[in-house]
Copies of this chain bind each other. A is one copy, B any other.
Amino acid sequence: MHSPSEQNYIQQLSIDCVIFGYQDKQLKVLVPKLNFRGDFWALPGGFIDQNESIDEAAHRILESRTGIIDIYLEQFRVFGDTGRTNKPFLERLIELNEETLGANRFNQKEFEWVTRRFISIGYYALVDINKVIPQKHEIDESIGWYSIRQLPPMIMDHNEIVARALDTLRSNLDEKLIAFNLLPDTFTMREVQELYEAIFDKPFARNNFQKKILDMNVLERLEKKYTGAANKAPYLYRFVR
């Protein structure tokens, strides 16, 4: 997986990234699948170098495992139960891949290092799927966007980490709407509503939704969108600079 070493990395501390993607009115999550027998999916994760901040580590890990750079990535929660360990997963992986992996992949010291209890700092982001091209790491068989409704079963507590990231995304969406940069330069109220409906996985009443969004005082109303049918044309909006 990595080359863990006491000298380089902080022990027993990891970072896991939940990258939400939005496309065609749907919310998805970016999940790599490890290139081993046994169907192992895991969030893009890794360790913290002694010489980098946790934010720097999160960006480096994300780039290394997904190819994604320059996005708004934010810590949201620490996962620190005593039972968090890679051990059952790694033992199963080694058992299934013995001929190719065997005891050579980890020496004993590395195996012990990586199978101790880990506390993990969760980071999350929300990106426009049309604007990023994920690239898999050499340890991965593939990397792909999975609907939030049909996530694969991931190792450890990674499905739970996604669930908590989704709670945070929902709680913070109003204030992060601009930072996430999910909407085009100008957009209709309907486009905003579709984004909210995808993230909250429920419909909103149009009038109430419009009022709520306008009350946030972050939108500026422009001319009507040209649709050919002037009467029903919706207004265009943009974010106040």
Contacts and interface: CB of A to CB of B under 8 A. Distances in A.
A13 interface: yes
A225 B210 CA distance: 38
A213 interface: no
Interface in A35-53: 48, 50-53
- This chain: copies in complex: 2
A119 B12 CA distance: 12
Given A80-B55, A81-B53, A119 B10 contact: yes
Interface in A1-50: 10-13, 48, 50
Interface string A114-139: 00010101000000000000000000
Given A53-B80, A54-B80, 12 more contacts: A10-B13, A10-B119, A11-B11, A11-B12, A13-B119, A48-B119, A53-B81, A54-B81, A55-B80, A75-B77, A75-B78, A78-B121
A191 B21 CA distance: 43
A51 B82 CA distance: 6
29 contacts: A10-B11, A10-B12, A10-B13, A10-B117, A10-B119, A11-B11, A11-B12, A12-B13, A13-B13, A13-B119, A48-B80, A48-B119, A50-B117, A51-B82, A52-B82, A53-B80, A53-B81, A53-B82, A54-B78, A54-B80, A54-B81, A54-B119, A55-B80, A57-B80, A75-B77, A75-B78, A78-B121, A80-B121, A171-B175
Contacts of A57: 80
A53 B80 CA distance: 6
Contacts of A48: 80, 119
Interface in A82-125: 82, 117, 119, 121
Contacts of A10: 11-13, 117, 119
Contacts of A80: 48, 53-55, 57, 121
Nearest to A117: B50
A212 to B, nearest CB: 11
A34 B188 CA distance: 58
